[in-house]
């Protein structure tokens, strides 16, 4: 191979390469001739495959319920396993509206639980209901939910909130938490859900918080904490934000666009020189 051929196959680095240290986004990839370098093209194909796999991944709800029972047995042993109106993953992906409501069997089970609770405790006054939903990435729930829930419950303990039984939902969307919260008669519902996978984050979990949940509410009624995962928002930061929003929601009796997240976030210390003028 001639030296001219070697030169034509060399990789030209991007002048923006220094910015890659600040993000996992696919930037400053360089080029080989007029195309992407082969290793970057292969990394893209792998990330795309991981995102597709995450969407179709099935939550092991039985194992998650068992882990919840084992982890919280001393402080909060109850959980309720539920199913949306989507009977399987294929239906869930084709009919988003089915994922927003409980199946008739699950709705009846939750109504029966509420009735028994009323007779036993004579109250419906839960302060928070945590609803764990597979969403579009069950992988995110299996990777992050239990660990984050442990941290969040510890951080919320000083507030002495009364927590409803944990609800685990298969084939669910965010809005299903409103129906669950209404049936449990809880003041606030916190939905932990697998977010739509990105090309650098197939395991990202989101949290949606709604005051006085009831079926039919829309997105402006909710607050969102997004990108909870290794390499994204840490459990400690997300739990801090959740505690702030939960306490503010109870103090002000609202959520959504009327409730702003005013917690401070980690700042990059020091000044950065522009590499464009070095």
Among residues of the chain, what percentage have pLDDT more than 70? 87
Query: What's the rounded mean pLDDT across residues 38-58?
Result: 89
Among residues of the chain, what percentage have pLDDT more than 90? 62
pLDDT of residue 143: 95
Yes or no: say if 165 and 189 are a contact pair by the CB < 8 Å rule: no
Q: Compute φ and ψ for 167, nearest 5 degrees.
A: -110, 130
Query: What's the rounded mean pLDDT across residues 88-103?
Result: 96
Query: CB-side exposure of 253: number of CA atoms within 13 Å?
Result: 0
Residue 247 pLDDT more than 80?
yes
| Residue 207, beta-bridge partner list | 192, 225
Q: Where does the pLDDT of residue 25 fall: very low under 50, low under 70, confident under 90, or very high at 90 and above? A: confident
Query: What's the rounded mean pLDDT across residues 24-32?
Result: 82
Residue 7 pLDDT more than 80?
no
Q: Does domain 55-258 have CATH number 3.40.50.11240?
A: yes
Mean pLDDT, the chain, whole residue set: 87
Residue 268 pLDDT more than 80?
no
Q: Where does the pLDDT of residue 6 fall: very low under 50, low under 70, confident under 90, or very high at 90 and above? A: very low
Residue 140 pLDDT more than 80?
yes
Query: What tens digit of pLDDT does each residue of 186-214 get?
Result: 999 999 999 999 888 899 999 999 999 99
Q: Which H/E stretch holds residue 251? A: helix 235-252
- Domain regions of the chain by residue span: 55-258
Q: Where does the pLDDT of residue 13 fall: very low under 50, low under 70, confident under 90, or very high at 90 and above? A: confident
Residue 10 pLDDT more than 70?
yes
CA distance linking residue 7 with residue 275, whole number of Å: 26
Residue 270 pLDDT more than 50?
no
Residue of 86 and 48 predicted with greater confidence = 86
Residue 157 pLDDT more than 50?
yes
Q: Compute φ and ψ for 86, nearest 5 degrees.
A: -80, 120
234: left (phi over 0), alpha (psi -120 to 50) or beta: beta
- CA distances to 9, 88, 224, 235 from 143, in Å: 41, 22, 19, 12
- CA distances to 65, 102, 136, 144, 207 from 235, in Å: 21, 29, 20, 9, 12
Retrieve residue 46's tokens: 């792998």
Q: How many CB atoms sit inside 10 A of residue 54's CB?
A: 22
């Amino acid at each position: 191979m001639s030296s001219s051929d070697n030169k034509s196959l060399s990789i030209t680095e991007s002048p923006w390469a220094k910015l890659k240290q600040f993000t996992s986004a696919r930037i400053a990839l360089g080029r080989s001739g007029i195309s992407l370098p082969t290793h970057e093209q292969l990394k893209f194909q792998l990330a795309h495959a991981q995102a597709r796999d995450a969407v179709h991944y099935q939550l092991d709800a039985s194992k998650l319920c068992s882990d919840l029972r084992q982890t919280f047995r001393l402080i909060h042993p109850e959980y309720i396993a539920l199913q949306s109106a989507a009977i399987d993953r294929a239906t869930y992906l084709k009919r988003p509206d089915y994922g927003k409501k409980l199946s008739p069997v699950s709705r009846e089970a939750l109504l029966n639980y509420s009735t028994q609770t009323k007779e036993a405790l004579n109250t419906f006054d839960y302060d928070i209901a945590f609803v764990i939903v597979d969403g579009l990435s069950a992988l995110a729930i299996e990777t992050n939910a239990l660990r984050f829930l442990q941290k969040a419950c510890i951080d919320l303990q000083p507030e002495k909130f009364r927590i409803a039984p944990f609800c685990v939902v298969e084939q669910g969307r965010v809005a299903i938490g409103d129906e669950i919260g209404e049936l449990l008669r809880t003041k606030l519902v916190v939905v932990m859900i697998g977010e739509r996978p990105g090309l650098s984050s197939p395991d990202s979990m989101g949290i949606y918080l709604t005051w006085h949940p009831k079926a039919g509410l829309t997105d402006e009624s909710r607050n969102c904490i997004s990108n909870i995962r290794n390499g994204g928002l840490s459990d400690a930061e997300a739990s801090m934000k959740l505690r702030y929003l939960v306490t503010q929601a109870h103090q002000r009796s609202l959520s959504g666009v009327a409730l702003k997240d005013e917690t401070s976030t980690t700042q990059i210390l020091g000044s950065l020189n522009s590499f464009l003028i070095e």
